[in-house]
Structures are given as structure tokens and as C-alpha cells.
Amino acid sequence: MPPKVEDAILGKKHVVVDGTADIITIKNEDEAHYVCALLNSAPLRTFAYAIALSKGGVPYKRITNWTVATLPLPPYQRDLDVCKELVKKSKEAHQAAAANNLSLVAECETEIDDLACQLFDITKIELFALKEHHQVLSGLIPIVRSESADGQEET
């Protein structure tokens, strides 16, 4: 019998794990950290979530091999400073997560987002909009609609 969890709305329910494992083969540890940093960055996370298949309604999405393959992932360039910094921050985030240092993980994630923005030439305002868009897509914040001066609904 699967384990149970208790939800405030649904009550006690059995947990059934529905998961898949996909592997990206990367021969170099630094390049693997580079890819990991970018896949966990706000720009690529938002893009992946926007194109992922629906899985039971908001906020559930199915990230497939196709989803990851279509992401705009710039090639790793070991001599490029921004790539070096992404590798460094990814390693730091992994060490912090292993030590259960969640505040350091959050700091690393913020720095990874900033570095990804440098790589993709995204401004701070655009990053904010991407993060907000991801929250809307995932159902964390509602779409706000207002009425314009001419009585038409705006988003």
C-alpha cells in the first residue's frame, strides 16, 4: 500500500508516484553544471513550462525530452566568463542543497538567473516579467483583468 499524505482540502490520500527519468549525456562535469544552471534558470524554466504538455491541469506539466530539446540552450564555452560563473554557482547550489542550506540555494538561484540574463541579453525588467509569467502559468497568481476607459476588458 502506498504512503498517505494529508491535504487540508482533500483529506488523507494515498500517494502514487508518477515520474519518469530522462538523461542528458554530458561528458564534462563543468558542462553538466552549466546545463543544470541554465535548465534551472528562470528564463529557461519559464520557456519550458510554457511549451510543456498539460498533465492534469494547472499547475501540472509534463516536461518531455522534446521540451528540453527545443530549449534555446547556448553551447557551453569554457573560456567565456559567464559560463564559468554559471558552473561555479551551480556547484555552489548543489553543495548548499546537500547541506540543506536553503537560504544559500536561493541566493545561488538568484545569481544564476542574473547570469542567464547576461547570456540571453535579458534585462532585469524582462526577468521580472518572465518570473511573473511563470507564476501565472503555474496558477500561483491569477490573471488580473481590468476595464479600460472605453469599457473594454484588458489583461
pLDDT tens by residue, 83-111: 999 999 999 999 999 999 999 999 999 99
Domain boundaries, the chain: 28-141
Separation CA 50–CA 105 (nearest Å) = 24
Taking 70 as the pLDDT cut, the residues of the chain under it are 1-3, 9-10, 15-21, 144-155
Asked whether the beta carbons of 44 and 73 are under 8 A apart, the reply is yes
pLDDT tens digits for range 107-126: 999 999 999 999 999 999 99
Asked whether the beta carbons of 53 and 61 are under 8 A apart, the reply is yes
pTM: 0.74
From the list 61, 62, 75, the residue with the least C-alpha distance to 28 is 75
